[in-house]
Amino acid sequence: MSWTCSLGWLRFTVPQATVEEAMTLVGGDWVADEKGFLGYGRSWICRGQTGGYGRIGTGAKRAPQEVHVDLSQELLSGWTYEQFQAVAQWVFAKDGHFGRLDVALDDRSGIIEVEAVYAAVVAGHCVSHFRKSQLIAGLDLGSGADTGKTLCMGSRHSDTYVRIYDKAAQQQSKGIVVEGPWVRWEMEWKDERAQAVGLALSVLDQDRFQSYIVGVFRTALDFRDCTREDDPKDRYHAPLLSWWKTLTEGMQRAKLEVVKAVKQIEDVKQWAAKSLSPMLGLLCVHPEAGERWLVSIIIEGVERWRAKHYALLAKGQDAQQVLKRVRWWKPTDGFAAGCASTAP
């Protein structure tokens, strides 16, 4: 059986720090924005190569040294557990607090489908503090593809919210090949609940943290052999449903999923076409920028390539040959020269 764990959205604030500290901590390529956000006078933006979005803000009038960081799930897809823990430890060392933290547990073994989970809720087998649930059918309007069912527990405005959805169908609707079943159990915590989970993240090793998370899941919702008519005490002590017992035991043994942000050049091309092309066109025609300026910053960008860029350029070729060719290439000679198979 196969289970994976992934940590998602991170939102945190520290009362006194520098933006440079935060950027070094979380990594990525950050660009200054022309305007602030959420009351912060200055802000920076980071966009992932296959999606994802990050913002850093500082310079609020009420707290000039405060630094606020907001990182989406896609932007964090390549992080290790140690990176997440280092961020949590930094936040608490700075007397900061978490505003949001998400964790997803993936069942790749097909224990139960989303519709069957909802049927258990309808039958009264769910012991939970949530007051409402909703089953949503997903549809891609452009292609008409089925994006799968999503079961929502709780309210998006509360400090705890659960989504259970067909991740395989969602990925397949985007043209991504997925082998076998894939159901994601995702919990979103905010404010005080996020702070509690962040504290656990800062002090527990990965195995103990995942056991803790499964315990938090089961505090929010548990599936037991009971009905709504049963006495509340009996409901809380009723035997676990067999599929829920198997699922939660497996989730405790899940391995943290670390996904490389970019796997092939087609991913980068799609990201550029979708996210960059409108602004690149604007920069080309704007009188205060222009094509020459755009080429100059691309050349400067080459100087900031890191291992992941060289790895993508290699595309399975001999990495040493790729490095040799790139070191020979001078961007000012033209971009096509960088594709030459051999140096003169």
Domain ranges of the chain: 3-256, 265-339
Q: What is the pLDDT of residue 60?
A: 94
Q: What is the pLDDT of residue 308?
A: 57
**Residue 210 burial by CB count (10 A; 0-12/13-18/19+): exposed, middle or buried?**
buried
Of 227 and 322, the structure prediction assigns the larger pLDDT to 227
Distance CA 330, CA 338 (A): 8
Are the C-beta atoms of residues 52 and 82 closer than 8 Å to each other? no
- Count CB-CB contacts under 10 A for residue 174: 11
Confidence of residue 144 (pLDDT cuts 50, 70, 90): confident
Confidence of residue 241 (pLDDT cuts 50, 70, 90): very high
Are the C-beta atoms of residues 173 and 147 closer than 8 Å to each other? yes
Q: Residues for the chain: how many in total? A: 344
- What are 14-30's pLDDT values in tens digits? 999 999 999 999 998 89
Are the C-beta atoms of residues 30 and 21 closer than 8 Å to each other? no
> What separation in angstroms does the CA of 284 have from each of 29, 271, 274, 306?
22, 19, 17, 26
Q: What is the pLDDT of residue 251?
A: 86
Confidence of residue 1 (pLDDT cuts 50, 70, 90): very low
Residue type for position 204: L
What mean pLDDT do residues 142-160 have?
Answer: 87
pLDDT over 70 (residue 180): yes
What mean pLDDT do residues 291-313 have?
Answer: 68
For the entire predicted model, the pTM comes to 0.73
Are the C-beta atoms of residues 58 and 39 closer than 8 Å to each other? no
What mean pLDDT do residues 287-301 have?
Answer: 78
Q: What is the pLDDT of residue 21?
A: 95
What is the pairing mode between strands 221-223 and 183-190? unpaired
Of 339 and 51, the structure prediction assigns the larger pLDDT to 51
Alpha helices in the chain (DSSP H): 19-26, 81-93, 114-122, 167-173, 191-203, 206-220, 232-237, 242-252, 265-271, 277-285, 291-302, 307-314, 319-328
Q: Which single residue is written with the structure tokens 């990495």?
A: 319
Distance CA 120, CA 128 (A): 12
- What are 49-72's pLDDT values in tens digits? 666 889 999 999 999 999 999 999
